[in-house]
């Protein structure tokens, strides 16, 4: 309609403009101009009254068949399905914490660094303690081995000594008996000789008393008496010597040697008995051996554990999977104890979102629909 009116206006203008050309009268030009202006103003007024208000411009496109997309935006709580709370596997001082809450980490990334100077000191102390304990263990083993040898020696020697003491005791008794017998035999022989000589001397004295010095046999008998008296004196002297000392020096020497050897055996036996008693008290029994073995095992494991802890400290604490740090309870300079909670990681690859929604929103949701979940700086 607007175009039609504009066309009419152009036609009117044309008509208006064409009328002066037909008359071709120069004297009427001012009147013609005034008429044209009046007609233009009239048409302008009429056009503004009958022209409807200008409508908004609408962009259109060709209609096609397709699926309409609708989106829903909700707020909720995001939780990783792969969630892990990290606990300290070793005790030690923290040198640095590489992450904070909200940081994204990748698998293998270092999260925490231990103070290796502190770990060096702990490892050195563990090694010194091991050396000390090992020296004690080796000493105990060596002492037990020595005590066993001494016990075995004492048992063996006591058997031999008992037989030797028995043999030498019999030898001493035999020598003493032989010496006594020899003494008795000598004494008896001398007594018999003295008795015989005394009888001879008495008979000669009786004969001399009945004789005169002038008799031919007097001198002979006197000489015989003198010889008998001399022999008697020698026998009596031998009897005195036999009463104060042993004439058989060889037997006396054998007896002395046997007695001294017997005394040595008895002394050595007393030493072996003492050694046997002491060794039996100090040799480890099965309980002592088991306890020593357990102590040795614990000692070895303690050093092995410290060496393992040292290696773990060198590696630091690392992430096992791509995740976000959702909690962190440690700071540099703090001292961790084994089992202490350090931080929590939640996977960003597989997450679970908990949210509340209206019935209208829920009606639009279906299993398998795509969802975009912004987690910190990652979607």
Digit-coded pLDDT (tens) for 172-203: 999 888 888 777 777 777 778 878 888 888 88
What is the model's pTM? Answer: 0.50
Is it the case that residue 1 has pLDDT exceeding 60? no
Q: In terms of pLDDT, which residue wins out, 239 or 154?
A: 154
The pLDDT score that the predictor gives to residue 66 is 65
The pLDDT score that the predictor gives to residue 52 is 55
The pLDDT score that the predictor gives to residue 377 is 57
C-alpha span between 14 and 229 (Å, rounded): 219
Strand, coil or helix: what is 62? coil
The pLDDT score that the predictor gives to residue 68 is 63
The pLDDT score that the predictor gives to residue 49 is 58
Is it the case that residue 35 has pLDDT exceeding 80? no
315: tokens are: 């590696």
pLDDT, one tens digit per residue, over 86-137 is 999 999 999 999 999 999 999 999 999 999 999 999 999 999 999 999 999 9
C-alpha span between 226 and 165 (Å, rounded): 55
C-alpha span between 238 and 236 (Å, rounded): 5
C-alpha span between 299 and 279 (Å, rounded): 28
Question: Which of 115-129, 191-205, 256-270, 280-294 is the least confident region?
Answer: 191-205
* Residue ranges in 316-365 assigned as alpha helix (H): 359-364
Place of tokens 């009419």: 8
79: tokens are: 């939780």
The pLDDT score that the predictor gives to residue 23 is 42
Among 365, 324, 360, CA closest to 107? 324
189: tokens are: 């022989």
The pLDDT score that the predictor gives to residue 14 is 35
Kindly tell me the sign of the dihedral angle through the C-alpha atoms of 90, 91, 92, 93.
positive
The pLDDT score that the predictor gives to residue 319 is 95
Q: Which of 111-120, 193-202, 235-244, 246-255 has the highest mean pLDDT?
A: 111-120
pLDDT, one tens digit per residue, over 319-340 is 999 999 999 999 999 999 999 9
Is it the case that residue 160 has pLDDT exceeding 80? yes
The pLDDT score that the predictor gives to residue 21 is 42
The b-or-e profile of 231-266 (16+ CB within 10 A means b, else e) is bbeebeebbeebeeebeeeebeebbeebbebbeebe
C-alpha span between 244 and 183 (Å, rounded): 11
Is it the case that residue 26 has pLDDT exceeding 60? no
Residue 191 Cα distances to 184, 185, 234, 349, angstroms: 10, 10, 12, 132
- Average pLDDT of 304-312? 96
Q: Which residues contact 375 (CB under 8 A, 6 or more apart)?
A: 78, 324, 348, 351
The pLDDT score that the predictor gives to residue 376 is 56
C-alpha span between 239 and 190 (Å, rounded): 6
Percent of the chain with pLDDT over 90: 46
- Average pLDDT of 80-88? 88
Q: Return phi, psi of residue 134, to 5°.
A: -65, -40
Question: Which of 3-7, 230-234, 333-337 is the least confident region?
Answer: 3-7
Quick one: residue 303, left, alpha or beta (phi over 0 = left, psi -120 to 50 = alpha)?
alpha
Mean pLDDT over all residues of the chain? 80
Percent of the chain with pLDDT over 70: 75
The pLDDT score that the predictor gives to residue 268 is 96
The pLDDT score that the predictor gives to residue 229 is 84
């Amino acid at each position: 309609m607007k175009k039609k009116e504009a066309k009419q206006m152009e036609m009117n203008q044309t008509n208006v403009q064409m009328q002066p050309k037909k008359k071709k009268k120069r004297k009427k030009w001012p009147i013609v101009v005034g008429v044209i202006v009046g007609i233009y103003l009239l048409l302008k007024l009429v056009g503004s009254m009958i022209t409807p208000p200008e409508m908004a411009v609408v962009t259109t496109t060709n209609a096609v068949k397709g699926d309409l997309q609708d989106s829903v935006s909700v707020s909720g709580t995001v939780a990783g399905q792969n969630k892990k709370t990290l606990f300290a596997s070793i005790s030690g001082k923290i040198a640095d914490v590489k992450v904070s809450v909200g940081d994204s980490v990748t698998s293998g990334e270092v999260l925490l660094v231990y103070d290796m100077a502190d770990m060096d000191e702990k490892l050195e102390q563990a090694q010194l303690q091991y050396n000390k304990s090992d020296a004690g263990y080796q000493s105990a083993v060596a002492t037990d081995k020595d005590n066993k040898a001494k016990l075995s020696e004492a048992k063996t020697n006591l058997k031999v000594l008992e037989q030797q003491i028995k043999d030498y005791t019999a030898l001493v008794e035999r020598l003493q008996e032989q010496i006594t017998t020899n003494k008795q035999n000598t004494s008896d022989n001398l007594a018999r000789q003295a008795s015989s000589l005394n009888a001879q001397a008495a008979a000669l004295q009786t004969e001399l008393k009945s004789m005169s010095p002038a008799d031919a046999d007097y001198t002979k008998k006197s000489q015989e008496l003198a010889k008998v008296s001399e022999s008697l004196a020698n026998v009596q002297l031998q009897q005195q010597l036999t009463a104060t000392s042993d004439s058989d020096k060889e037997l006396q020497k054998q007896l002395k040697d046997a007695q001294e050897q017997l005394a040595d055996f008895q002394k050595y036996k007393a030493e072996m008995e003492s050694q046997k008693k002491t060794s039996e008290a100090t040799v480890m029994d099965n309980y002592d051996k088991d306890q020593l073995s357990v102590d040795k095992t614990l000692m070895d494991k303690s050093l092995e554990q410290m060496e393992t802890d040292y290696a773990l400290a060198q590696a630091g604490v690392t992430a096992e999977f791509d995740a976000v740090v959702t909690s962190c309870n440690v700071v540099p300079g703090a001292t961790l104890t084994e089992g202490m909670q350090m931080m929590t990681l939640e996977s960003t690859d597989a997450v679970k979102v908990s949210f509340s929604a209206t019935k209208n929103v829920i009606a639009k949701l279906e299993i398998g629909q795509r969802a975009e979940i912004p987690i910190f700086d990652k979607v």
